[in-house]
Structure 1
Amino acid sequence: MSSKLSSPYAFGDARTLARTVFGVAFRPQTYRNLCYLTLAFPLGFCYFLLFAVGVPLGVVSTIFVVGVPILLGMLAIASGLASFERRLTTWLLDVEIPTGERETPASLVGRVRRLVTDVGTWTAVVYLGTKLVVGVVAFEVTMLFLVTAVSLLAIPFVYDQPGVYVGVVTDAPVSLHPAVYFGWDEMLIGLETVITVSTWQVDTLGEALAVAGLGVCLLVFTLHLLNALAWLSGRYTRLMLRDRHGDVASEGNAVQ
């Protein structure tokens, strides 16, 4: 029996290539990924702010005993937020994260012991602390590429409106010096020209459509980039927030 690895990026013919590259804008999952990445920045900022205030406060307050309940409360909050992140990732990214069913200890001491000794609690703290990194990267990509692409796509509708200037303006003229040189019979023969660009304005429909075409290319590239970032984020979430108690139990049963 032979098996083949399938890939979403199949380049069998021109039609398949076009559907793979440009079809990204018509897939519902693309916009679920975008929604997930858009939420990553505010959620990551809230998590970072919570732990940046709560953890130092708990550490400093340990000399007054009250710091211990604060730190335990932070661990409990981290466990609850990790559960929320698992559901959010499954819902928006369609990434299944294994979770095990464990009996809740009846006593308060047992619950506290499991909270402190569970590896999943600490990986949740690390994950929530690094969520802001994903949010910042997604925010930068969105603002730098996605907003620029949408702006370029809107140019054919606004370029001829009164008071609207679409083009390039420089403080000083930019000079380009394309040149070609080659040696021939101990001589250097070349061609050099100078192109000076000071200002350039889109003032015809053809130019506006050409710029919009550039916007389409940038938009497609950005959506693929955001999809890749969402894929990596989903795998990172699965790695950090999966149930490790089940893994340990499975290993123990295998040894027995």
Structure 2
Amino acid sequence: MVSLRSPSALPVVGVLVDGRTYRHLLYLLLAIPLGFVYWTLSSFGITFGLVLSVVLVGLVILLATLIGARIAAGFERWLANRLLGTDLDRYDDVPDDTDGAVAGVRKYVDAASTWRGVGFLSLKFFVTVLAFLLLVALVNGLSLVLAPLRYPYVATFGESNGEPVTWAIDTLPEALLATAIGVVSVLVALHVTNLVAYVCRQMATALLGEPTADEEASSETSASVEESAPDDETLPPGSDEFVPADAVEPDPNDDSVRDERGA
């Protein structure tokens, strides 16, 4: 029988045809502008909020920053569910009914989900840096892959000590070598993309929400099935376990047994 193996399950190169890879890549590409916006707004809110905390406007800015962090965390939870494969629901740690404006403000400050969201958004800055480096690696790698169609040309890889780092590709052997290097660069970048996405998924699971009821129910069902499974020592009927002959009691209705006793 011939077994058909999914192309995405192939080692090393399967990442090229795995749809999850491109969802992860989209997540990291979105992290670049989002991380910049989160960092700018949070820095502005915390800095000016602390400076102006001696007056009422500073406290309002700090509170607005916390509320904005909760909204951003909710959006990040939605992104993680759509692109990272999580199934998270928001934390239910903010009471619905409060008496007075002060109690309404305090419920968000006291909620652990608020500070978890702030922690996630702070870590998102490092994800933004990694996403930018991966984007640069992919662009340069794809440029080299297309070298046989573009040469002669000069490939630019950034700057070093104020001088541009370039590679003049003038011949076909150089273009073929550039293609091989580009393919390796793209594969490495995509594998690192999946690794970074895995870290982001773990971050989202720990800081942005809790599994939905359906996922918890399925986990409990699988656990109950495992608990109710028979032990390995219990053998089903018709088992091939060896039983000594002297351990089996003879059947009194068996004719052969009566003949042996009569003899």
TM-score range, shorter chain: 0.5 to 0.7
1:110-130 deviation digits (Å, cap 9, x = unpaired): 321210111111121122122
**Residues 1:136 and 2:129 aligned together:** yes
Determine if contact 2:21/2:190 at 8 Å carries over to the other structure.
yes
Aligned to 1:228: 195
Determine if contact 1:44/1:130 at 8 Å carries over to the other structure.
no
Aligned to 2:69: 78
Structure of greater Rg: 2
Deviation at 1:53, TM superposition (A): 0.9
235-244 or 40-49: bigger deviation: 235-244
Determine if contact 2:169/2:175 at 8 Å carries over to the other structure.
yes
Aligned to 2:146: 154
1:100-146 deviation digits (Å, cap 9, x = unpaired): 44652244333212101111111211221221111011211321x21
Deviation at 1:66, TM superposition (A): 2.1
Aligned to 2:51: 60
Q: Aligned partner of 2:65: which letter? A: M
Q: How far apart, CA to CA, are the structure 1 residues paired with 2:53 and 2:177?
A: 64
Q: Aligned partner of 2:111: which letter? A: D
Q: How far apart, CA to CA, are the structure 2 residues paired with 1:166 and 1:44?
A: 29
| 1:182-201 matched pairs, under 5 angstroms | none
Summarize the Cα distance change of 1:16–1:65 in structure 2 as closer, same or farther, 3 Å threshold.
Answer: closer
Q: How far apart, CA to CA, are the structure 1 residues paired with 2:199 and 2:187?
A: 19
Summarize the Cα distance change of 1:39–1:97 in structure 2 as closer, same or farther, 3 Å threshold.
Answer: same
Q: Aligned partner of 1:72: which letter? A: L
Q: Aligned partner of 1:139: which letter? A: F
Determine if contact 2:147/2:175 at 8 Å carries over to the other structure.
yes
Q: How many equivalent residue pairs?
A: 196
Q: How far apart, CA to CA, are the structure 2 residues paired with 1:243 and 1:118?
A: 15
Summarize the Cα distance change of 1:59–1:18 in structure 2 as closer, same or farther, 3 Å threshold.
Answer: closer
1:66-93 deviation digits (Å, cap 9, x = unpaired): 2222211111111111101100111111
SS at match of 1:20: coil
Q: Equivalent of 2:102, from 101, 109, 112?
A: 109
**Is the strand fraction higher in 1 or 2?**
1
| 1:1-256 matched pairs, under 5 angstroms | 19-101=10-92, 103-107=95-99, 108-143=101-136, 145-160=137-152, 164-165=153-154, 202-243=169-210
TM-score, scaled relative to structure 1: 0.68
Q: How far apart, CA to CA, are the structure 1 residues paired with 2:80 and 2:139?
A: 25
Determine if contact 1:98/1:242 at 8 Å carries over to the other structure.
yes
Determine if contact 1:159/1:166 at 8 Å carries over to the other structure.
no
In structure 1, stretches of 5+ residues that fail to align are 1-14, 168-199, 247-256
Identity %: 35
Q: How far apart, CA to CA, are the structure 2 residues paired with 1:234 and 1:70?
A: 30
Q: How far apart, CA to CA, are the structure 2 residues paired with 1:26 and 1:77?
A: 38
Deviation at 1:62, TM superposition (A): 2.1
SS at match of 1:63: coil
Determine if contact 2:24/2:84 at 8 Å carries over to the other structure.
yes
Determine if contact 1:43/1:132 at 8 Å carries over to the other structure.
no
Q: How far apart, CA to CA, are the structure 1 residues paired with 2:118 and 2:79?
A: 17
Summarize the Cα distance change of 1:243–1:119 in structure 2 as closer, same or farther, 3 Å threshold.
Answer: farther
Deviation at 1:16, TM superposition (A): 8.3
Determine if contact 2:8/2:16 at 8 Å carries over to the other structure.
no
Q: How far apart, CA to CA, are the structure 1 residues paired with 2:123 and 2:151?
A: 42
